[in-house]
Chains A and B, each alone.
Chain A
């Protein structure tokens, strides 16, 4: 369970990015964090991952995110970065996938098994020994997801997982996300993808929660979305 309890955060004094925010995400939920640029979505991710610290309480399975609990917390949360180039820094996909399990003291044999299982599950067996600098953007995004799955995290956080992908690869990533059984928190401006992958949506504006509820209700609310610098998902407009 992930819990934000009266969280406030500011990068510069007097300019709050998050103000008194509280929400709770139960195990296995898929939640979309949406909002205009600068609304505070990425900061929420950073707070969850302990990359920045705040006033109030951020709890992961009842453990407060703090310097002392970071190792434990980060083992539970896998984060897929927006720019896969920044995530895949080892020479090959295989080495990148081995990186996290080895850091968490999983034996090399066990880590190898995990890597093979994840690659088989995502249908990426051919990519195992491919060089990161030689794979396409779509392949890299899938590989980035695979590196996180090899960690076997309890929750997966994704920052704009479908940005800069062609329609085929976008659909591939969406289908992959849908099949993940872990708790998912996804930030994106791709509201069609959010609709396809999340049952719950939290709409953020100026560091505050404006709406929190069923994806169906929030993403179909034209007035609400437009008041917060967003638009209806394209698939709704077409209908």
Chain B
């Protein structure tokens, strides 16, 4: 748990590193990420070859940002299996052979499963890159500039902050449990109900105190986000170029094109 808390804090530290990606305006990065995710999601479930070149975008961005790609996979290790499980049953329902590699037939189900998994992973990688290169307050400020409802953005920001509070409470409770249950792995099923109930109550108490602390310092449903980096010509260039790149990759199957060139 202490590790989880430390990892949460590390996200804030990653976001203030220095790199050409970190230096970009939050709104430009946010819009570019949204366009990237929409583009990735728009690929047909059998269009694996078309989707593959989209991998290059986050890989390249991670390199420029100076964030190792494995950091993303490590930090998202709990979510990744869920994403991977999305198309797990496709091979059972869609058995029509769509492709043959030598004598081995590959069914449509397998292709759609891999495509879905890849789509999920790419979306996660893009979202993680945004959070790892932009302070969360700046993302929220960008969302407000895009006229997203204030309540929704505040909710997002406070959820991000309260995750730490809940993790702290969970850490305290888990330690207290293990100190009185030596040698026991995890928390026994019989204690799950009361454990979760207590966690909820304790988190609510702390959240209430945090909220009181905010109210006592003049908070009135309006966050004053740090001004962040201004939107400059290079941000516009990044936004336009990245979106153009995504659209090109969506409409030109680079993998097929390269394949046909090699075959010729």
Contacts and interface: CB of A to CB of B under 8 A. Distances in A.
Contacts of B190: none
B12 A49 contact: no
Interface stretch (B44-52, B145-153, B206-214, B241-249): B206-214
Interface stretch (A55-63, A79-87, A171-179): A79-87
A128 interface: no
Contacts of A75: 218
Interface string B81-99: 0000000000000000000
> Which of A51, A81, A102 has most chain B Cβ within 10 Å?
A102
B219 A131 contact: no
Contacts of B66: none
Interface in B189-206: 206
Interface string A191-232: 000000000000000000000000000000000000000000
A134 interface: yes
Given A75-B218, A104-B218, 12 more contacts: A49-B216, A71-B218, A74-B216, A86-B213, A89-B214, A95-B226, A99-B219, A100-B217, A100-B218, A103-B219, A131-B12, A133-B164
Interface of B: 5-6, 8-9, 12-13, 135, 137, 161, 164, 168, 206, 209-210, 212-220, 222, 224, 226-227
B9 A151 contact: no
Contact of A89 (B13, B210, B215): B210
A86 B206 contact: yes
A133 B6 contact: yes
A113 interface: no
Contacts of B137: 91, 95
Given A71-B218, A71-B220, A103-B219, A83 B226 contact: no
A108 interface: yes
Given A85-B168, A133-B6, A103 B212 contact: no
B12 A91 contact: yes
B224 A102 contact: yes
A8 interface: no
Given A86-B209, A86-B210, A102-B224, A131 B13 contact: yes
Contacts of B6: 133
Nearest to B217: A100
A51 B212 contact: yes
A81 B213 contact: yes
B217 A151 contact: yes
> Which of A49, A86, A92, A147 has most chain B Cβ within 10 Å?
A86
Nearest to A73: B216
Given A95-B226, A133-B6, A89 B216 contact: no
Contacts of A104: 218
6 contacts: A51-B215, A74-B218, A103-B220, A133-B9, A147-B217, A148-B217
A85 B205 CA distance: 13
A185 to B, nearest CB: 14
A71 to B, nearest CB: 7
A103 B5 CA distance: 28
Given A71-B218, A81-B213, A87-B213, A103 B12 contact: no
Nearest to A132: B9
Contact of B217 (A86, A99, A108): A99
Interface in A76-117: 77-79, 81, 83, 85-87, 89, 91-92, 95, 98-100, 102-104, 108
A191 B214 CA distance: 29
